[in-house]
Structure 1
Amino acid sequence: ALPIWRKNCGAHSLEDLRERLLKGACVYILFPEGTRTRTGEVAPFKPGLGRLVAGTNIPIVPCYLDGTFAALPASRTVPRWKKISARIGKPLLFANTTNDRAGWQSLAATVEEAVRALAT
């Protein structure tokens, strides 16, 4: 596990993770919203997701987790026993996405759209 801390986390943390992804066969599960919401709705994705894979052949597999808010709302620290289901989309590639702020934001928006589509 490689946590990305909200505070005192510089660009080097994302660059380190990007290098690990480029070096070998590994899988990371990321939550690009960066936090749990107070309403259970999907929050806007952070552009750091784009920083990890823009301009590479690293696939992103969009997933929607249903039931997580009922199991662990932001107001709780101990989860409840609730049914959680996962909907998994097709892998997305962003080799042609520019590795800059505009590319990162575009990539994050595309993945967010794919995740939201899985919610319906």
Structure 2
Amino acid sequence: MFYQVLKYVILGPLLRLIFRPRVEGLEHVPLQGPAIIAGNHLSFSDHFVMPVIVPRRVTFLAKSEYFTGPGLRGRLTAAFFRGIGQIPVDRSGGKAAQAALRSGLAVLRKGRVLGIYPEGTRSHDGRLYKGRTGVAALAMKAQVPVIPCAMIGTFEAQPTGRRLPRAMRITIRFGKPLEFSRFAGLDGEHAALRAVTDEIMYEILQLSGQEYVDEYANEAKARQQSQWGLVRRFR
């Protein structure tokens, strides 16, 4: 109930007013059955703008930090994300990655739509970064279509560090569903996982028009911060 009220009564009308979204290719999102929407990730606003546009409920795998913040603000944030049906994911890798995979599969096996950002984190500079293979593992294990999605303009509206978004028009573009039945049974093969992931990222790139970087976003961000730290140290 909270999800429906938020989408159609509170957040939906507000976001449409702020962003005046132009939507392309929405017909590619199936009206029933399990599917994955895989998108680029440019802004905190992405979590809300795209699900408002999609007629069906979209469940995202959200980073666990949204559910573990301290104090009253942390508890309110956690309650909000739980209320809209988001699933906390530990991004530390190893067993945590397997738990995230199981959570995503559970959503798909209920016939629902799962939203995922293959980059694993927000882009810090507006470019598209190398995708992690979790999206491929989910698509191959569940044998469901993947709908590529591109958010265009949300980085300019609310880049990392900006608390409130600017009022400006954005575009949300959906591509044709991708299916990977030819990789059935190969979800344990790294080469197959990498090939499927790269195909998904290529379609997102074609939709978004971003510059592509063949490096993981968190690694690129860490390297940039390290370089800035050295610069400040020797000034």
Which TM-score applies when normalising by structure 1? 0.86
Per-residue CA deviations over 1:23-78 (Å, capped at 9, x if unaligned) read 23201111111111221011111111111111543010001110111122123243
Q: How does 1:1-120 map to 2 (within 5 A)?
A: 1-7=86-92, 9-21=96-108, 23-97=109-183, 98-100=186-188, 101-120=190-209
1:7 aligned counterpart, secondary structure: coil
Which TM-score applies when normalising by structure 2? 0.47
Code of the aligned partner of 2:206: A
The count of residues paired between Structure 1 and Structure 2 equals: 119
Code of the aligned partner of 1:15: R
8 Å contact from structure 1 (residues 63, 87) kept in 2: yes
The alpha carbon displacement at 1:119 in A equals 2.1
Please identify, of 7-16 and 58-67, the stretch whose mean Cα deviation from structure 2 is larger. 7-16
Cα-Cα RMSD: 1.8
Q: Which has the higher strand share?
A: 2
Pair member with larger Rg = 2
Runs of 4+ in 1 over 6 A off after TM superposition: none
The alpha carbon displacement at 1:92 in A equals 0.5
2:121 aligned counterpart, secondary structure: coil
8 Å contact from structure 1 (residues 45, 112) kept in 2: yes
Code of the aligned partner of 1:3: P
Residue ranges of structure 2 left out of the alignment (5+ in a row): 1-85, 210-235
Following the alignment from structure 1 to structure 2, what is the Cα–Cα distance between the partners of residues 119 and 17? 25
Percent identical pairs in the alignment equals 28
